[in-house]
């Protein structure tokens, strides 16, 4: 056996260092390189860079490696502005210049469509970004912990159980940062015990701060392990005094050992049940647990893309599947003859009905159930959709629903997706009966690898 053959047969091992050229971005924001045809994921490496990386894990189809040194840097590499960027892991693309992030997200979508939808040249438009990609999140949900007598609140360091204290998160709206900081100070000052999940003792588990961009109203929710909060009157007075924008202070009780943030019971400690927010012409009353898009500015752009794709004339019947609290359906209602939303979560449907009434929308109805059951039932009654909008969770469309859509064949399907790989897999099946007109990526979460898409499918 020649020396050369022997070398190629040597398996990759943990601790091995190698020089790699980074080809593209992975779905978690890592750089992708190849070593002897094996894919290697390198965290914090950027496309076009030549890096030295050290292997940390070897699997059958891929390996992961940590970045040791950048030998040739990308022109898109920038200094992350956040002081805890390395530790936090909440947003993993701050080391990449923003325009390059937008281009990278478009590439991610193109790659997914090539790989899973088997499209050689997918029609993907330029990513719609933000003029100012900071301070865009309207809700901060931070775990609370005790670090040697000091109260901290933030996110867990990636892959660990160590809390990173986030004093002023750059992607959060400044109002939510101020609420979290003040709540930490007041809870600490009043000596209210912090929950310890190992010992299952203490009271305060999570601080949730939410701001309405349109009205400036803010809400604080304290998730506690017990129904009683000691010194609660002083707590409320102090918070109201220090935070004049607060209109709602709420307690949610979650006594269970669980990774879910909220428990079943919610009670208002002071003020209103919720805060008033607007999206375009629509107004919403947001209670503590009501779902709402985290980036209102980009949500309007995304919903406008849905509106453009649907191209309604006032004569169409629209079905809004996975409708959640009804926002997309209500956005389209003024331009449609009728809108019907379907959602499996009963609380979300109640919210959607309330939102419709609150906005005086009379041509939209919301139904609890599974779309693959309701669509054929409605079809039997002669009720068909001209346009179907789907906005599924990260797992994509239910297989039975794809079958149903291929059977009932609406004229247009507008597919809103938060996961390019499940989007591409679903499109692959839908392309039996539909042509893909275009995919429009929208950047909902700058500095993270997430990308939202609005795709238009037209019946063949």
Cβ–Cβ < 8 Å for 342, 271: no
- SS3 of the chain: helix, strand, coil, percent, to 5: 25, 35, 40
- Which of 328, 365, 321 is closest to 344 using CA atoms? 321
CA dist., res. 62 & res. 347, Å (int): 42
Q: Which of 82, 418, 453, 454 is catalytic?
A: 418
Determine if residue 160 is left, alpha or beta; phi over 0 gives left, psi from -120 to 50 gives alpha, anything else beta. Answer: beta
Strand order in the sheet with 412-417: 364-368, 338-343, 317-321, 387-390, 412-417, 452-459, 434-442
CA dist., res. 261 & res. 326, Å (int): 23
- Tokens coding 28: 């978690």
Apex CA 335: angle with CA 329 and CA 339, to 5°? Answer: 35
- Which of 347, 408, 417, 396 is closest to 372 using CA atoms? 408
Beta strand 218-224 with 246-253 is parallel
Scored b (16 or more CB within 10 A) or e, 78-95 reads: eebebebbebbbbbbbbb
- Which of 455, 449, 448, 385 is closest to 417 using CA atoms? 455
Give the SS3 label for residue 444: coil
- Tokens coding 276: 């008033």
Whether residue 454 lies in the annotated active site: no
Active site residues: 418
């Amino acid at each position: 056996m020649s020396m050369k053959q022997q070398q190629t047969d040597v398996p990759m091992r943990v601790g091995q260092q190698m020089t790699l050229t980074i080809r593209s971005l992975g779905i978690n924001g890592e750089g992708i390189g190849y070593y002897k045809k094996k894919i290697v994921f390198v965290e914090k490496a950027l496309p076009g860079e030549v890096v030295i990386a050290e292997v940390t894990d070897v699997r059958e189809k891929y390996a992961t490696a940590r970045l040791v040194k950048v030998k040739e840097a990308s022109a898109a590499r920038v200094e992350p502005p956040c002081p805890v960027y390395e530790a936090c892991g909440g947003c993993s693309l701050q080391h990449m210049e923003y325009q390059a992030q937008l281009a990278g997200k478009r590439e991610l979508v193109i790659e997914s469509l090539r790989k899973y939808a088997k499209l050689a040249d997918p029609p993907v438009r330029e990513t719609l970004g933000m003029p100012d990609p900071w301070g865009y999140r309207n809700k901060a949900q931070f775990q609370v912990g005790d670090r040697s007598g000091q109260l901290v609140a933030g996110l867990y360091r990636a892959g660990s159980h160590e809390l990173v204290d986030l004093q002023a998160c750059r992607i959060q709206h400044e109002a939510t940062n101020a609420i979290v900081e003040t709540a930490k100070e007041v809870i600490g000052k009043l000596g209210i015990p912090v929950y310890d999940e190992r010992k299952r003792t203490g009271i305060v588990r999570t601080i949730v701060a939410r701001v309405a961009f349109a009205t400036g109203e803010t809400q604080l929710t304290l998730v506690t392990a017990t129904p009683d909060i000691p010194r609660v009157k002083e707590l409320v007075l102090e918070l109201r005094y220090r935070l004049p924008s607060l209109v709602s202070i709420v307690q949610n009780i979650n006594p269970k050992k669980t990774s879910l943030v909220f428990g079943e019971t919610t009670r208002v400690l002071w003020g209103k049940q919720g805060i008033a927010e607007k999206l375009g012409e629509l107004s919403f009353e947001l209670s503590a647990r009501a779902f709402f898009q985290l980036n209102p500015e980009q949500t309007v752009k995304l919903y406008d893309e849905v509106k453009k794709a649907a191209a309604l004339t006032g004569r169409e019947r629209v079905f809004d599947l996975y409708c959640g609290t009804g926002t997309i359906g209500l956005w389209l209602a003024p331009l449609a003859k009728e809108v019907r939303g379907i959602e499996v979560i009963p609380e979300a449907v109640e919210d959607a009905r309330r939102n419709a009434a609150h906005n005086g929308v009379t041509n939209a109805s919301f139904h609890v159930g599974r779309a693959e059951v309701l669509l054929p039932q409605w079809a039997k009654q002669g009720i068909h959709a001209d346009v179907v909008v789907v906005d599924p969770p990260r797992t994509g469309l239910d297989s039975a629903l794809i079958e149903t859509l291929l059977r009932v064949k609406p004229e247009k399907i507008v597919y809103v997706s938060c996961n390019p790989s499940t989007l591409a897999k679903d499109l692959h099946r839908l392309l039996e009966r539909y042509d893909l007109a275009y995919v429009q990526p929208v950047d909902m979460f700058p500095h993270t690898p997430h990308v939202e898409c609005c795709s238009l499918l037209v019946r063949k």
